[in-house]
Amino acid sequence: MVGHAAYLLLKDYKHSHSYREHTDVVGVHLKDKVNQTMAVALSDVESLVFEVIEELLETVDTDFEDELAGPVLLVADLGFSSIDFVQMIVSIEEKLGTKVGFQDMLMQDGKYVEDLSLGQVVDFTLQRLSNPVASAAPVQVSAPVAVESAGPTITEDDVARFTTLIKPRKAAGVTPSGGKNPRAVFVLSPPRSGSTLLRVMLAGNPELFAPPELHVLSYASMDERRADLDGERGDQLREGAVRSLMQTRGWSAEQARALIEDCEARGEGTGDFYARLQADLGGRLLVDKTPTYAFSVDILRQAENYFDDPLYIHLVRHPCGMIRSYEESDLTRMMPLMMKSSEFSSAAVAEMIWLLSNRNIMQFAEQVPSQRWCSVSYEQIVSDPQAQMTRLCDFMGVNYHQDMIHPYSDNNARMTDGVDSSSKMSGDLKFHLHSQIDPAAASRWRQFCSESMLGQPTLALLDQIDAGLAKVRM
Ligand code: A3P
């Protein structure tokens, strides 16, 4: 358990003008100490954490008007959402210039905690900075209980009703104006399948260009994409393309956005937009991982119209792991194609997304020559990353590179930072909570769920998947 003694010493610590000035330099000062593995002071860590919280409070919708202090709770008092938690963590780590392994602070007995005090965050950070080796050994945090998932048992009738709630796009099938684009690679999976981790691992290979989710293939033209991906969440889903242009052209976010707005205004075809991205890659293979493509076989077929012999990586994960992950995330409000409220529980929605996405992907696979298809599981990737990356490299015809199995090195090259804010990368925010590839994450669901909660259609597909090369029952 994280000790409370240290934080109790500081519980009456108040913010003042001089404190604020002090925090301007404390990040740099602390980063230097961390770099030089010098002892860090509790007051410095607290200053840094409070500074991060103050910055975040400028964007969080909160009624909190008191002064920050150790007992203040992030959710109950400050109104933090899970995204704010991740933003806090990314900001702290950025200011420290090191990963802290906050996953261990947020987990208790395999569940995510529901709230934490500022004192707990300070104590945990201090403890990790004082003993970095401890990152490997999970630390327990006392906190309220997390939500249990009730087990649904879905039927084909449920699946048929659910399918009418998803309104996937009908891709138009127009070939790019210059003919088919060069080969690209698509990572196909339902959401919450470890796709961000795989994307970032692939991005570690200098022969590949694997940006955050592009959300391009689902649309015929860039103006159609702009109209569909609207609002705050839509804005975030459009950022992968912005981040790509920033990376390949060394541009600012404004420059990249201006080009995309121009493409939208001219109604540029999405096939031509892909050509634009690929023209900057200097021969590197473009990898597009966007989980929502799997919502429709029509969208998947579009890849065959746009690219010359594209390659497909089918990423699978045990449905119980995906369902548990979905329930823990705020995904329902992030899904662009989903109805937010429906007759189904979130676990049932998750299971049907797993089922429909994998069914679509496997139906599409029947139309693709087997040498252009490769399946891999999240469970295999986290348990034996090097062997799986070697296998995927052989499939893609590129050399294996050792950086692929160090996904937390070189954030910029891997585009794990967002466009305007580090933690707003489109994709899995939980990627930021880990500090290394975590094999235990694959079996965590076993503490709370069992296959008995799964419906017959899901079990049948699970058996089919697990009988292939991509094992999910490990
Ligand atoms: P959990 O929610 O079960 O932890 P996606 O990117 O497709 O949405 O997948 C998200 C899942 O990938 C989450 O699963 C997340 O924790 C897991 N993940 C992200 N980074 C990871 C890492 N470094 N090691 C193991 N799992 C990771």
Would you state the pLDDT for residue 226? Answer: 95
Lowest mean pLDDT among 72-76, 85-89, 365-369: 85-89
Would you state the pLDDT for residue 19? Answer: 38
Question: What is the rounded (10 degree) CA torsion for 373, 351, 296, 184?
Answer: -30
| Residue 335 in domain | yes
| Residue 205 in domain | yes
Is residue 342 domain-shared with residue 259, that is, in the same domain? Answer: yes
Please determine, for residue 235, whether its predicted confidence score (pLDDT) is greater than 90.
no
How many Å lie between the centroid of ligand 1 and the Cα of residue 446?
15
Please determine, for residue 354, whether its predicted confidence score (pLDDT) is greater than 70.
yes
List b or e across 56-94, with b for residues whose CB sees 16 or more CB atoms inside 10 angstroms. Answer: bbeebeeeeeeebbbebbbbebbebeebbbbbbbbbbbb
**Nearest ligand 1 atom to alpha carbon 329:** 2
Ligand 1 test: best mutation among 198, 430, 433, 474, most atoms within 8 Å of CB? 430
| Residue 142 in domain | no
- Residue of the nearest CA to atom 14 in ligand 1? 325
Determine the average pLDDT of the residues in 51-65.
Answer: 87
Q: Is 325 in the pocket of ligand 1 (CB under 6 A)?
A: yes
| Residue 147 in domain | no
Is residue 131 domain-shared with residue 160, that is, in the same domain? Answer: no
Is residue 229 domain-shared with residue 274, that is, in the same domain? Answer: yes
Q: What is the pLDDT of residues 180-234, one digit of tens each?
A: 999 999 999 999 999 999 999 999 999 999 999 999 999 999 999 999 998 877 8
| Residue 146 in domain | no
Is residue 379 domain-shared with residue 453, that is, in the same domain? Answer: yes
- Residue of the nearest CA to atom 8 in ligand 1? 192
Is residue 71 domain-shared with residue 206, that is, in the same domain? Answer: no
| Residue 151 in domain | no
Three-state DSSP at 206 gives coil
Domain count along the chain: 2
| Residue 398 in domain | yes
Three-state DSSP at 376 gives strand
Is residue 334 domain-shared with residue 389, that is, in the same domain? Answer: yes
Three-state DSSP at 38 gives coil
Is residue 100 domain-shared with residue 161, that is, in the same domain? Answer: no
Please determine, for residue 27, whether its predicted confidence score (pLDDT) is greater than 90.
no
Q: Is 321 in the pocket of ligand 1 (CB under 6 A)?
A: yes
Determine the average pLDDT of the residues in 143-169.
Answer: 70
Is residue 256 domain-shared with residue 358, that is, in the same domain? Answer: yes
How many Å lie between the centroid of ligand 1 and the Cα of residue 392?
19
Is residue 126 domain-shared with residue 168, that is, in the same domain? Answer: no
> Domain containing 232 — which CATH number?
3.40.50.300
Three-state DSSP at 145 gives coil
Q: What is the pLDDT of residues 275-324, one digit of tens each?
A: 999 999 999 999 999 999 999 999 999 999 999 999 999 999 999 999 98
Is residue 332 domain-shared with residue 400, that is, in the same domain? Answer: yes
Q: What is the pLDDT of residues 8-21, one digit of tens each?
A: 333 333 333 333 34
Residue 118 belongs to what domain range? 5-136
How many Å lie between the centroid of ligand 1 and the Cα of residue 197?
6
Is residue 128 domain-shared with residue 247, that is, in the same domain? Answer: no
Indicate the residue among 72, 105, 136 that finishes a domain.
136
Is residue 164 domain-shared with residue 22, that is, in the same domain? Answer: no
Would you state the pLDDT for residue 299? Answer: 94
How many Å lie between the centroid of ligand 1 and the Cα of residue 94?
20
Q: What is the pLDDT of residues 381-398, one digit of tens each?
A: 999 999 999 999 999 999
**Nearest ligand 1 atom to alpha carbon 193:** 7
| Residue 387 in domain | yes
